[in-house]
Amino acid sequence: MNFEYNLNCYKQLSTPFGFFIVVGLLLVFQSRLATADDLHACDYLTVDEVTQVMGFEVSLPERKPANPMGQSICFFDAPQEQGMRFAQLQLVTSSSEKLKKLGFTATSLFQNNMGFLENPLKVAGIGEQAFWGGSGIKMGAGLHVYYKDVTFSVLANAANEEDSLAKSKKLAGIIIGKIK
């Protein structure tokens, strides 16, 4: 019975009409999966990856919706006994409809943002361009990276500035490895 049913389905789908149904469904699903606004910063880091880099367990990420610029935010918190330790990723691509409507690309947004950092430290070997804006909770903190039409800022807020930069670089390497 199952074999006959499957054979009938196959015969119906192998007609010209069935072919168009299958192609249409594939196009709908592919376009749904491929939209930049569906990409989220939390798709680029896992709890295990952040835990390994930070050296202690982190919480499940707080997956915040994209801001008006199309930039999504993923926040990993640390247990209370770790103090003010956390990891955060903000990410946007040029194909974000929100970003396009504002007249920006990932490149122009990256350049614009770098203009607001006080004494940014250029960081070699990370992405196409990268700057360190310091650690802690302040405007512009984190490692700001431009790579393959993606702009992201990542901050591993650790015990000190040096440790924060080193851990932010490690997280940036993981993120870059996932950008296609």
CA distance 62 to 89: 11
18-49 per-position pLDDT tens digit: 433 333 333 333 333 333 446 799 999 999 99
Taking 50 as the threshold, does the pLDDT of residue 2 lie above it? no
CA distance 93 to 74: 15
Most confident of 9-23, 45-59, 78-92: 45-59
91-121 per-position pLDDT tens digit: 999 889 999 999 999 999 999 988 888 888 9
* CA distances from residue 146 to 5, 43, 94 in whole angstroms, order as listed: 52, 17, 11
* 54 Cβ contact partners less than 8 Å away, ≥ 6 residues apart: 76, 78, 85, 87, 156, 158, 167
CB atoms inside a 10 Å sphere around CB 60: 9
Pair 52, 43: CB distance under 8 Å:
no
For residue 122, the cross-strand partners are: 131
Which of 27-41, 55-69, 72-86, 127-141 has the weakest average pLDDT? 27-41
**pLDDT score, position 23:** 32
